[in-house]
Structure 1
C-alpha cells in the first residue's frame, strides 16, 4: 500500500511553523537537572486491561441501560446548543509562548510539536532527560484553561536552529547511522538501529512515568518516526517499486516495538498513531487511536479524497479506506480520532457544510464516519463564533452530552436517590473517567453540599452512527441506532443538610481545575447549564417541613445592569429591582458566568480583580423559596490599568515558570490565582518591572503558605537575597513579606523567585513601592491602555510584546470602541495624529474627535498581532486639554491600538 502523493503544503508550513513555533519553544529556559530513568516497560499496566477490539462492520449495539427507578419523579430538562469550547474536543490551535491563546474561535485544546533533542540534551547519556521545554509549554497552556495535544519528532523539514529540523539527540552520534532525505533536506536516522530502538524505548518509558494521566495533556501522538513524526518518510518510503528512492522507514516489527512501548508506558492518557497500517497494524489491537493529518482533503487528478473511503470517492490510500482494509473502522468506540484539517482547506472547509466543494471533501461525512473528536485547525482563529456551519461541525465532533431527564423526589430527607438520563448527540464518546458530582445550591446560588458518584461518562455512546456504504445496509447516508440515553443513579445523604428549598445540581470535574483556575468546564447541552460548570436539575425541598415549598414562581429579570465606576481592582454595579409574587430576597452577581457574591439591594462592588482586564457581569434575583430569575442582560466592564506603584500578578501572561511551577486557583489571592510548586528547581520570573528612575526600592511580596518557608529573590541576575515567609495558616489566605532591592531605570527589570534547597511559598503578586509613571513627552503621547480611557463593548486590554508599555487595546469594532480623554490640543486647530497599531490583516477604523463626524482610516497589515506600525491622520483639536478621541468600526473589526501621538 503506497502513501499519498507528496504534500507540498508541508514544506511551506514547515518553514513558517518551525521558524515561529519552534523559535519560541526553544527559547524556554532550561529546567532542573536531568535524571536517569529505568528502561522501557514491557507489560501494559492493569489499568488498561479493559480494552478490547471491536468487530469489523456494523458494530453490535451496547447493552441497553437500566430503567429509571419508578419511585422517583421525572423532571424533563430543556435542550440548548452545547458550548463550542467544551474540553478535549473541537479545534486545537497552535501554542505560541506568550500569545493570548484564548483569542479567536472558542477552543479548549492547543497543539505543539517538540524535538526529541530538546529533552534528550545530554550528548553522553541517552537515559538523561530535561523536561523543562515541555513543562513550560504545558504550564502556560494550562494557565489559559486549555489542555495540550502534543507530539515528539526527530526530523522536521524546514526547521531552524532554534527549533531543530534535525532533532536527533547527540547521544545517538557514533551509534546510529544517519541518512539524508534529499527531497526534504532532513537527516533521517536508521530507525532499525538497535541502539536507537533501545534509546527510544527508554525515552517513552520515562515520558509515561512522568506524564501519564497528567491533566495538562489531552492527547499524545506517538510521533518519533518519519517526517514531522508522522510515520512516513516520503519519497524514501516502503513504496520502492515505482521510484529510485531507498526505504528509510523502520521494519514493521521495529515500528511495532515503538507502538508497544508507548502502549506499555501510558495507561491513562489517550494515544494516537498516524495510520491503521503503522507498524504492520500493531496498534489495531492496542489502546491506541489514530490521527488523520490530511483530514477531509481531496487531491490528484481527478480529485480523490484522502479521508473518505473509495466507496465515497476516496483514494485507495485514504484514511478510512485503510480502516476498512484493517477492520478498524469502529476503533473510535474505545480510542480517540484526532489529526489536522488539511491547511489548504482550513479557510473554506466549512463554507459548504454539510457537503464540500473543490479540494474540501464532504465534511459532515468525514466527521461522522471517522468519528472525529479533535483536529488541529490554526485558521479557526479567524472564524466567527456565530458561524452556524462551524458551530454545527464542532458540536458534532466528539461528545455532545445533554441530560434529558433528572429523576428524584421533590421533597426528601435522610438518604434518597438521584438519577439522570444522559444522551450523546456527538459522534464519539467522552474518553476520560472524569468524576461526576451531584450537589445542592441554596437560594443565593451557594453550593451547600456535594456527593461524588461512580458514574462513567465513557459509557454514554452516540445515539446514531453513520453506516459505511461498504457495510451494505443502505444507501449513503444511512444512520443506524447505536447508543441509548444512558441512565445513572446514586444515593445521596441529606442528613447533614438544613431543611429548606434548594436547587439540585450536577457537574463534571475537569482534573485541570486542580492546577488552573481557568480550566474549561465540561458543560451539557441544556438550558439550565451554568458557566460555573453546574447543571441545574430542578428544585428539591429538604426536610419534613418542606420549607416554603408552596412558592414556585421565580422573580422577574433584573432591569438594566450598569457600571457606576471602576478602579484597577474593582467594579461597581447597579441594576433595576426585580419583582416577585411573594418578595425578592436578594440578587446573585455573576462574573464571567460564575457567582462572585450576593446583594440584598440593587448594587454591588466586585473587588480583588486584575488590572486592565475585561469582565462580563450578569445579575439574577432569588426569593425565599429558592426560585431564581433569568439573568439580566450582560455588561462588560474593563478595570483600569495597574496603579503607578507597580503591582505585578504572579500568574500574569509574560511571566516565566520553570520546573514544576504552575498557576493554581486561590480564593484569597488577587485575581483569584497564584503560582505554586516553587522551589526545588522550579522558579517564577516576573518581567517588565518598572524601576522608574532606578535605585533602591521596597518590594512587597503577597504570598500564601500553610507553613513557614523561605525563598531567594534575585533582580536582573544579581546575587539572590533570602527572604523568610511566615505561615499564613492555609494555602488560600495571603500575607506579605518585604525586602529591599535595587532596580534599573525603565521597565526592563526582571525578578526571579526560587529556593534551590527546598520549597518556597506560593506567590500571589509583587508590589514595587515608589515607582512613578513617566509623564507623556511634550509632543503628547497617549497609551491606548492608560487609566482613564473608556472601553465599551468587548474592547479589552491585552499584552503586546512589540507595543509601547507592552500592552494594547484589542477587540475594537463591531460595536466596541476606545475613547481617549484629555488630549492636549495646545492652541487648537489642525494637528497630525500618529496612530500606532498592530494587526495581522488589513483593517479600517473610524476616527472621531470631540463628537464630530467620523473619518474612515485604513490600517495596512503589520504581519502579526505583536508588530506595530503607524499611520498619520489629520484632525482638528480644540485648545487646551479637554479633547476626546474615539476609535471604532461600526461594520467590522478595527486594528488593535497601541498609542496615539499628537504632533
Structure 2
C-alpha cells in the first residue's frame, strides 16, 4: 500500500504534537529531550546523608555520631506559662537558640503530665483548685499528676497559651515541627490504662475538649507545621499532620488500633501529600531493628520498610543512633533507613534561553523520596562570575511543596539581567534555608556544592 505524503499543514501539526510530548517527558527519563529542544540532562548523584527537616533525630544536644538536621525536646507548660495571661519564653528561646546554633531546626511539644517527671501544670491552676490525680504507672510513683482536662479553668488556660504560642512562633524558622502535646501522658493524647476500659476510670479529655484544643492550634498556626498523635475524623479536615510514636511496632494495619488502622478509619491515608508525618521509632526497637540478622522479638511489626512506604514518614526520633550509636553494618543499615524517609529532590535537566533583557531558565525536578518537602523555602538562582563570587541572585516563584513523589515537574521563570555586567557566568540553584546558619538543602544531583557550597551547579551561560 502506498501512503500519500502529508500536507505541509499536517506535517506542521505532527511536529508540534511531537514537540509538546517531548516537553513533558518524565524527569526520570534517561534522555532530557531531543537534542534541539535546549534541555541538558544533569547526572544523578547519591542523596546526602542529612538534609533539612528529615531523617533520624536525637534529643536536643551536640552529637557527631550520626548525620542529622533536627533535634527534639519536651517542655513543661509551667516552664513558660507563669500566670493566666503571663509568659516567660526564655526556656523555649534557650532551647531553640542552642539547636539553631548547631545548624539544626527543632521539633518539640509541651506537656502537662510526663510520667516520672515533676508536674508541668502551671502553679496558678493548682492554686485555683484544679483537680489532679496521682498515679504509680510508668514508674511515676506519684511524682507527676493527671489533671482534670475538662476543668473550664484549664481549658481557658490552654486556649490562651496556644494563641500566644502561635502569635509568637508561627513561621519561626527555628521550629521545624510542633506537636500539639498538652493532653495525656507525655502529651501523647491518651491516659492508658486510665482510659475507661472495663474496671477503669477515664481520665482523658472529653471529645469536646479535644476538639477545642485541635481547633485552637489550627487557628493559631498558618505557617509552622503541626502534628497530633492520633488520626481521627475530628482532625481529618484540619491542617494538621500526625506523629506515630510507636513506629515499626504498632504501625502496620491489623488489629484495628495500629497507626495505619486509624489512618484508614479516619480517611486520612492520603493526607501526607499536604501534611507531614513524623514520630518516634519505638524505643525497644532502636537498638535491634537494623542489626543483621534483625534481632527484635516480641509482637511488634518489626518492619521498618513497610512502615515507611505506608505512612510516608519524614522524620523519626531515634536517640539510640546518637547515643550509644551504631557500628559496622548496623550503622550502614540505619543510615540507609534514615535516608529512605522524607523527600529526595533531584534536578534532572535544565534549559536556558536568552531574551533581550532577561534569561529564561527552566528546570525539571523530581522527588525520589516518599514525602514532599512541606515548606516553600525560596528557590533561588544565582549567577556566579569567573572570580567565584555571586554576581546576582534571583528568587523564583517556584514552590518546593508542589514537587510530590512520583510526579516530576517542570518549572520556568524569566530572570531580568538588566544591569548585570556582560560576560560568562555559572548558574547555580538552591532552596534557601530561612534559618540563618541552617543546614543547606542539597539535591541528589551531580554538581551539588561544586561551584558554591550549598548551591547546585546548573551550567554555564553568557550574558551579552
Q: Hey, what does 1:157 align to over in structure 2?
A: 115
Q: Hey, what does 2:306 align to over in structure 1?
A: 365
Q: 1:534 aligns with which of 455, 459, 464?
A: 455
The structure richer in helix per residue is 2
Q: Hey, what does 1:340 align to over in structure 2?
A: 280
* C-alpha distance in structure 1 between counterparts of 2:309 and 2:97, whole Å: 33
Query: Residues 184 and 190 of structure 2 are in contact (CA less than 8 Å); yes or no, is this contact kept in structure 1?
Result: yes
SS in structure 2 of the partner of residue 136 of structure 1: helix
CA distances 1:785-828 after superposition (whole Å, capped 9, x unpaired): xxxxxxxxxxxxxxxxxxxxxxxxxxxxxxxxxxxxxxxxxxxx
SS in structure 2 of the partner of residue 282 of structure 1: coil
**1:75 equivalenced with 2:40 (yes/no):** yes
Q: 2:229 aligns with which of 267, 271, 274?
A: 274
The structure richer in strand per residue is 1
**1:169 equivalenced with 2:122 (yes/no):** yes
Query: Residues 102 and 144 of structure 1 are in contact (CA less than 8 Å); yes or no, is this contact kept in structure 2?
Result: no
Q: 1:485 aligns with which of 404, 408, 413?
A: 408
Query: Residues 383 and 426 of structure 2 are in contact (CA less than 8 Å); yes or no, is this contact kept in structure 1?
Result: yes
**1:221-620 map, 5 Å:** 221-238=179-196, 240-241=197-198, 244-277=199-232, 281-297=233-249, 306-310=250-254, 315-351=255-291, 358-359=297-298, 361-381=302-322, 382-383=325-326, 387-409=331-353, 414-463=357-406, 484-513=407-436, 517=437, 519-530=438-449, 532-543=453-464
* C-alpha distance in structure 2 between counterparts of 1:492 and 1:202, whole Å: 46
Q: Hey, what does 2:176 align to over in structure 1?
A: 218
SS in structure 1 of the partner of residue 171 of structure 2: coil
Q: Which runs of 5+ in 1 are unaligned?
A: 1-63, 160-164, 298-305, 464-483, 544-903
Q: Hey, what does 2:13 align to over in structure 1?
A: none
In terms of mean alpha carbon deviation, does 64-73 or 502-511 score higher?
Answer: 64-73
RMSD, aligned CA: 2.2
Query: Residues 50 and 339 of structure 2 are in contact (CA less than 8 Å); yes or no, is this contact kept in structure 1?
Result: no
* C-alpha distance in structure 1 between counterparts of 2:373 and 2:326, whole Å: 25
Q: Does the C-alpha gap of structure 1 residues 307 and 352 become closer, same or farther in structure 2, counting only changes over 3 Å?
A: farther
CA positional deviation for 1:84: 1.8
When the two structures are superposed, what TM-score results if normalisation uses the length of structure 1? 0.45
Q: Hey, what does 1:888 align to over in structure 2?
A: none
CA distances 1:58-84 after superposition (whole Å, capped 9, x unpaired): xxxxxx998499986111111111112
**1:2-21 map, 5 Å:** none
Query: Residues 113 and 119 of structure 2 are in contact (CA less than 8 Å); yes or no, is this contact kept in structure 1?
Result: yes
CA positional deviation for 1:352: 5.5
SS in structure 1 of the partner of residue 98 of structure 2: helix
Q: 2:75 aligns with which of 102, 105, 114?
A: 114
Query: Residues 348 and 364 of structure 2 are in contact (CA less than 8 Å); yes or no, is this contact kept in structure 1?
Result: yes
In terms of mean alpha carbon deviation, does 429-438 or 179-188 score higher?
Answer: 179-188
**1:35-74 map, 5 Å:** 67=24, 73-74=38-39
Query: Residues 412 and 540 of structure 1 are in contact (CA less than 8 Å); yes or no, is this contact kept in structure 2?
Result: no
Query: Residues 429 and 460 of structure 1 are in contact (CA less than 8 Å); yes or no, is this contact kept in structure 2?
Result: yes
Q: Does the C-alpha gap of structure 1 residues 182 and 379 become closer, same or farther in structure 2, counting only changes over 3 Å?
A: closer
Which structure ranks higher in relative contact order (CA pairs < 8 Å, sequence separation ≥ 6)? 2
Q: Hey, what does 2:30 align to over in structure 1?
A: none
CA positional deviation for 1:503: 1.2
SS in structure 1 of the partner of residue 81 of structure 2: coil
**1:138 equivalenced with 2:99 (yes/no):** no
SS in structure 1 of the partner of residue 425 of structure 2: strand
Q: Hey, what does 1:688 align to over in structure 2?
A: none
* C-alpha distance in structure 1 between counterparts of 2:313 and 2:158, whole Å: 29
Q: Hey, what does 1:473 align to over in structure 2?
A: none
Number of corresponding residues: 424
* C-alpha distance in structure 1 between counterparts of 2:328 and 2:384, whole Å: 31
CA positional deviation for 1:104: 1.3
Q: Hey, what does 1:890 align to over in structure 2?
A: none
Q: Does the C-alpha gap of structure 1 residues 136 and 326 become closer, same or farther in structure 2, counting only changes over 3 Å?
A: same
When the two structures are superposed, what TM-score results if normalisation uses the length of structure 2? 0.87
